[in-house]
């Protein structure tokens, strides 16, 4: 596991228990995607708007696992969709719902055979002020 954490991030307003569930879901998926040996990277940074002010605090969780097929990528946030033998298909839909409840965004990039990155974006308060 590799951490690339920005020490100077602005504060965001969020329920810590719900964000804990988001991190558990995404890190569990990353671990499951790595079949034998691999790397999970957690990176934090800000995403700025045109004026250069921080608009979002971003947490990116990447793995060097199997990746998600292009056919499955549009389905991963659908309830009960899973390719795991023992999965419920609820982890990513719950993760997406929690982030939306916090006015946040979740994006994903994946390359089959190379890995996946999930980007959780939480708004910085008072952005428009």
Give the residue ranges of DSSP H helices in the chain: 16-33, 91-101
Higher pLDDT, 51 or 14: 14
Note the pLDDT of residue 18: 97
Note the pLDDT of residue 77: 94
Q: What is the DSSP letter of 81?
A: -
Mean pLDDT to the nearest integer, 72-87: 89
Note the pLDDT of residue 52: 67
CA–CA separation, 118 and 93 (whole Å):
13
CA–CA separation, 51 and 54 (whole Å):
9
Note the pLDDT of residue 127: 47
Note the pLDDT of residue 4: 98
Distances (CA, A) of 96 to 3, 18, 74, 77, 107: 23, 11, 13, 7, 9
The pTM (predicted TM-score) of the whole model is 0.90
Sequence-distant (≥ 6) Cβ neighbours of residue 59 within 8 angstroms? 23, 42, 43, 44, 119, 120, 122
Q: What is the pLDDT of residues 29-66, one digit of tens each?
A: 999 999 889 999 999 999 986 676 779 999 999 999 99
Q: With 50 as the cut, is the pLDDT of residue 28 above it?
A: yes
């Amino acid at each position: 596991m590799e951490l690339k954490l920005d020490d100077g991030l602005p504060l965001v307003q969020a329920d810590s228990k719900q964000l804990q569930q988001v991190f558990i879901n995404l890190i569990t998926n990353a671990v499951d995607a790595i079949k034998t040996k691999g790397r999970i990277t957690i990176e934090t940074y800000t995403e700025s708007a045109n004026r250069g002010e921080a608009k979002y605090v971003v947490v990116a969780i990447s793995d060097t696992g199997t990746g998600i097929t292009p056919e499955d990528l549009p389905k991963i946030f659908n309830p009960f969709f899973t390719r795991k033998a023992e999965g419920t298909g609820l982890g990513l839909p719950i993760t997406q719902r929690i982030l939306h409840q916090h006015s946040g965004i979740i994006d994903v990039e994946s390359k089959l055979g190379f890995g996946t990155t999930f980007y959780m974006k939480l708004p910085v308060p008072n952005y428009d002020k």
